Chains A and B, each alone.
Chain A
Amino acid sequence: MRWTWVITVSLFFAPALALGCAVCGTGPERSRAAYISMTALLSLLPLTMLGALVWLFVRRLRRLEPKEGPPPREVVSEPSGP
């Protein structure tokens, strides 16, 4: 759990420290903010939309489920050996 926090915090701060992004070393603060915000948008938007679509389908599927419990079972008699 502690390592998860360390990795998460590192992912946020390490790119700037290591000059690991396109505008980390140069450019005004405004363009840096634009790059970071647009990267976040383009990364999170598809995940959000797909998540919303899956949530919508699951909700609709649950509504279609019969409310009276499990489906009726068919009892079949089979002959058994001696």
Chain B
Amino acid sequence: MTTVTSTSAVRPEPRPKKKIAHSGVIGMLVFVLTEIMFFAGLISAVTITRSTALMNIWPPPGQPRLPVEETLINTAALLLSGVLLGVAHFRFKKSPELVKAPLIAAMLLGAAFVGLQGAEWVALLAQGLTPQSSAHGAFFYLIVGIHGLHALAAIGGLAYVLRRAQQGRLIASELHTAEIFWYFVVLLWPVIYGRLYF
């Protein structure tokens, strides 16, 4: 006669999949990291070029000085827009409906920044600072221009978020993705301002 006994085999239960962050947020973080390195390369090039300037004179002789005081207003507008987006972030936790007002204000301030930068470009071109006039002009238009393009793209992102909020379909990950890009644009500007204008 054969006896059948039973023994216990322990099999672990499959762990539930955990999502540490939305894929859009991770994608935007990785994109911003690459953009930071891109701007770090440009800023590094400016720093080295300035360090080799003849007699330590910068801007080079005959080139106009960049408008430090006027640009301070643009800088303040951009920083304020970042604060307003932070307000939108906290208001979203209460209700997605509450993000509209700070979002619109942030977008308007961002658009004002880009508009004022455009006006500054027109004035500097009239004063003789062109991309071909010197390394100073080339770096200025290249770096400020690329930053301006990023600001326009970020405003586009905020406009998309606003449209979703107006439709009542805004989700947290969409807001956070647009926020990361806008904070990148906002926090990068003081670095560019400090490096190029002074």
Q: A31-B48, A31-B52, A64-B18 are in contact. Are A74 and B13 (CB under 8 A)?
A: yes
Is the pair B13, A31 in contact by a Cβ cutoff of 8 Å? no
Contact B13 A71 (CB under 8 A): yes
Given the contacts A49-B36, A60-B21, A80 and B7 also touching, CB distance less than 8 Å: yes
Report whether A82 and B3 are in contact in the complex, using a CB–CB cutoff of 8 Å: yes
Chain B residue contacts of A6, Cβ below 8 A: none
- B133 proximal to A (CB < 8 A): no
Known: A41-B44, A61-B20, A82-B2. A27 touches B13 (CB 8 A): no
Q: Which residues of B contact A45 (CB under 8 A)?
A: 36-37, 40
B-contact bits for A25-47, CB 8 A (1 contact / 0 none): 00110110111011001100110
> Interface residue tally of chain B, by bracket?
20 to 34
- Interface residues contributed by chain A, number (CB under 8 Å): 31
A-B contact count (CB 8 A): 79
Q: Which chain B residues lie closer than 8 Å to A75 at the CB level?
A: 8-10
User: Besides A57-B20, A57-B21, A64-B18, 17 other CB < 8 A contacts?
Assistant: A28-B51, A31-B52, A33-B51, A34-B52, A35-B51, A42-B37, A49-B33, A53-B29, A60-B20, A61-B20, A73-B11, A73-B12, A74-B10, A74-B11, A75-B8, A76-B11, A80-B5
| Selected A-B contacts with CB under 8 Å, 30 pairs | A30-B51, A30-B56, A33-B51, A34-B47, A34-B52, A37-B47, A38-B44, A38-B47, A41-B40, A42-B41, A45-B37, A53-B33, A57-B20, A57-B21, A60-B21, A61-B18, A64-B20, A71-B12, A73-B12, A74-B13, A75-B9, A77-B6, A78-B6, A78-B7, A78-B9, A79-B4, A80-B4, A80-B5, A82-B2, A82-B3
Q: Would you list the 4 A-B pairs with minimal beta carbon distance, nearest first? A: A34-B51, A38-B44, A31-B51, A60-B20
